[in-house]
Structure 1
């Protein structure tokens, strides 16, 4: 039912247990290594908090190896946050302004997809820790060493300790769904020119497997980049094709005309080629041209391009090297630079009606107020 939290399964508890083991081992190893092994208390604190921030507070989706890859890419961001937080804590006003700007930026990064959204709370903590007193720029080296050690140990632990099986990727799901569409189109083009109930159920199940709610967060093509946009486009076109095939009415007289049969056969060939493309096969350009010609023969009204799941799949696999006409409105993103694509995403959410924008403003104001109170009242435990 809507509004009712999903019940946690045994698999969810197993994932939480494995994550708790990794974070505990890494936090303890980093802290005791620096505190009692090397007598570096500052580095020990930052090694501990780095593991807790990105491993405990952050909710990065995916398997351990996927989270390890995400944290590895975030290492430069973590170094920058620690350095900026250290130097801006010199004055209360600079620390407050920095907290407002960084707090908003990190929270607003949730528009970039599940991974930035999941990592944002942990990155907030890595900035908050050095931003509060004491002001000690001379310890920046120890802070960075501790942070780096904690994160590297966490990456290794996520990748190697208690590994988890990975779910099918979105490309694999899309390839399976497109093959189902090819199978259905082949059946509709041959006697008895109809789908059986099991075929219809399989089509609906394949379509449902591409819905965001049924796809693990780490596998959703929710990013702002070209490949994620193209993969989401592929999923939408595939779901549309499956729905149309499953609901296609029976031909009058029990047998379709040769033009309809040719169009269905062309759909089957194109769907098969698209599935092969999603498996890093050749580009499905020739089958697409066959379908355009078949549709032109079928009806002058439908002589335009067919649902372009094949071209979107080509973009998702090959990126800017795909053989796609970028002038088409539906593929406006194909020839656009990645920074501009990100600008489109950010601009689309930069408004009071955006949930991501509202959350970012609230979090930034709350953190700013906390830092202001800690600086003005000189709280002994401001952090």
Structure 2
């Protein structure tokens, strides 16, 4: 892209709403000074928040909406109310070509439902997937998908997820040929369901793809940094994600309790504070915020509902990088270059 991307922001979504959404946009200007923003929601409230940030003095638009999709709304309810809601109108801006990406911290199910109806899936993609970056012990994060959009998947879905996840890693992590693995109950080639076996055979045959298929990976290796992309169905992916997040909170609470259990441990905390702060930054979900709905004819980024302004800043960074790199075109090109004949032979 030659022009700075414009990000459509559903300012009313999330646990806090305009305060963190506008604050995150202001913070993102430090990383991307030329970004343009369009905020959708209660104009008076949003304008009041914008006035608090000098970095939002220009390249900012406001679109007033009277309706907001709540966290309790079912996808069907959200669809009926999408036309006049801050979430629906922000997505519509992407569909109309008035923005290159949309960001919302609102209801995930509603966001996916509205985005699927408005933007439709890309040619060659059967189902969109939710993808996000997770921390690892390696030099970079790991891309994992699907994280909850599709409870059941066939082999073709998993292969398509691998193509999209690799494009994500190339764009955001700057890895030319991402190491890609399928989540399984073992690393041996004969382990797992027929669907996993079929997907693995197809990926092994796809040598022309800009990814390195490394086979299977087990759940205890997700954060080791051995691969760049982890592919699974939305049921297993969501369980894995919630387990990782829960374990991170457990470890943080365990360390906090240990350091406050006695006067000696409190003194020990003072000595180990730099290491504790590093651990806190690594485990903080705000530092890895920004789930992406891959496979749609438009870029949709989901922020954690409880994210702070720094978390929103990071989610906007993901949207900006993907928009600048034209990730939808990359995915489309990868699908066109997919060696279908070789894959058909491998599946037989």
Same fold (TM over 0.5): no
More helix by share: 1
TM-score by length of structure 1 reads 0.23
Return the structure number with greater strand share: 2
By relative contact order (CA 8 Å, sep 6+), the higher-ranking structure is 2
Q: Normalising by structure 2, what TM-score?
A: 0.25
